[in-house]
Structure 1
Amino acid sequence: MNNALLVIDYSYDFAAPDGRLTAGDAAQEIEPAIVDRIRTAHEAGQPIFFMMDLHFEQDALHPEAELFPPHNIEGTKGRALYGKVHDIYTEIREAPHVFFIDKRRYSAFAGTPLNQLLQERNIDTVTLTGLVTDICIMHTAVDAYNNGYGIIVPASCVASFNEVAHENALEHFKNALGATVES
């Protein structure tokens, strides 16, 4: 198994107590587990992809403009990686197996070079971590499935605004996508 770690949308706006679209305590509680995954992947030389939601100020044409308050705006602190995930990224960002990629849709695959980068590295499995379980993690998992990747979702490394939706997403990963959901 050739695995890549994806750290999806672990931004200030999604994780900080005062973030513009925060998942609050649930987002902060997964931080140590994500940091451990990053450190382990880095020490193994495993590809790590930090996939970050990108919005522009007053971008009324983006489909999310009707669904959510402005968040992850280019050039704001809200778009920065949050907490210790930011710290470890700063330590390892120059490594050739570490990537930071902007994304404009829920899925980390939509409109990004992710699939090509995974294929070039002979990756067959992706481990999904970050925020939000039932939105960006879910859409990325579906695209990973549709592109033929094995999927691992450590439950300790994903969170949502809504605990019921979070649990439903974890079940969907297992039952509809054949993902391995780790505790």
Structure 2
Amino acid sequence: MARTALIVIDMLNTYEHEDADALAPSVRKALPGIRLLLERARSDEAPVIYVNDNFGQWRSHHGEILRAALSGRHADLVEPVAPDEEALFVVKARHSAFFETPLGYLLEQLDVGRVVLCGQVTEQCVLYSALDAHIRHLDVVVAADAVAHIDADLAEAAVRMMERNMGAEILPGHDIAFDTPHDRT
């Protein structure tokens, strides 16, 4: 029986990009769902893994990335979901949490067979991470109330694609359990 891990995608964000103004309101709406998932995963002792862009700073590590995000113009969107001391951290450079990162190896070492995805951006990094998890034979859950988008129409289409093409479960955060092991498919 495999474990479930929470994957928090790109929530340590400086919001210094062209889509920031379109993204911020959606992030604000997703924050309660992300916080709920973090609380539930932590209380069930499930792995919590932050996967985050490095902002093109190849010397960056999670402390630098967190400090930069907390110094950004929307620190109020970062602080409530900042990693705790137990959180694991993977730096990525492209859209997928898996692309040329050690995430797949880490999940294997933790005996994870099911990932719960939350964070930003639904129609980009969440979508591509779901696809890469699916092709690695992981069960994928997307927390519908804990993902943020830039474009609502594209996000809706991305959620449909994840559900239909990748077999992802699309659930509200309060319906997601972390304490139950899952069979690998």
TM-score normalised by the chain length of structure 2:
0.78
Per-residue deviation at 1:100?
A: 1.4
Per-residue deviation at 1:178?
A: 0.4
Equivalent in the alignment of 1:5: 6
Equivalent in the alignment of 2:105: 116
Percent identity reads 27
Equivalent in the alignment of 2:149: 160
- Asked if the contact 2:133–2:140 (Cα under 8 Å) also holds between the matched residues in 1, the reply is yes
Gaps of 5+ in 1: 60-72
Equivalent in the alignment of 1:83: 79
Equivalent in the alignment of 1:55: 55
Taking the aligned partners of 2:51 and 2:7, their CA distance within structure 1 comes to: 7
- Quick one: higher RCO (CA 8 Å, sep 6+), 1 or 2? 2
Taking the aligned partners of 1:11 and 1:3, their CA distance within structure 2 comes to: 22
Secondary structure in structure 2 of the residue aligned to 1:157? strand
Taking the aligned partners of 1:25 and 1:144, their CA distance within structure 2 comes to: 27
Taking the aligned partners of 1:27 and 1:3, their CA distance within structure 2 comes to: 24
Aligned length: 158
Q: Deviations over 1:25-75 (max 9, x none)?
A: 111111111011011101111001011111236x9xxxxxxxxxxxxx967
Say what the alpha-carbon RMSD is for the aligned residues: 2.2
TM-score normalised by the chain length of structure 1:
0.79
Moved over 3 A (4+): 73-81
Q: Deviations over 1:105-145 (max 9, x none)?
A: 10011111110110011111100000000100011001001
Secondary structure in structure 1 of the residue aligned to 2:130? helix
Gaps of 5+ in 2: 59-63, 173-185
Taking the aligned partners of 1:148 and 1:50, their CA distance within structure 2 comes to: 20
Taking the aligned partners of 1:117 and 1:154, their CA distance within structure 2 comes to: 21
Taking the aligned partners of 1:50 and 1:155, their CA distance within structure 2 comes to: 18
Taking the aligned partners of 1:126 and 1:110, their CA distance within structure 2 comes to: 16
Taking the aligned partners of 2:146 and 2:31, their CA distance within structure 1 comes to: 7
Taking the aligned partners of 1:105 and 1:169, their CA distance within structure 2 comes to: 18
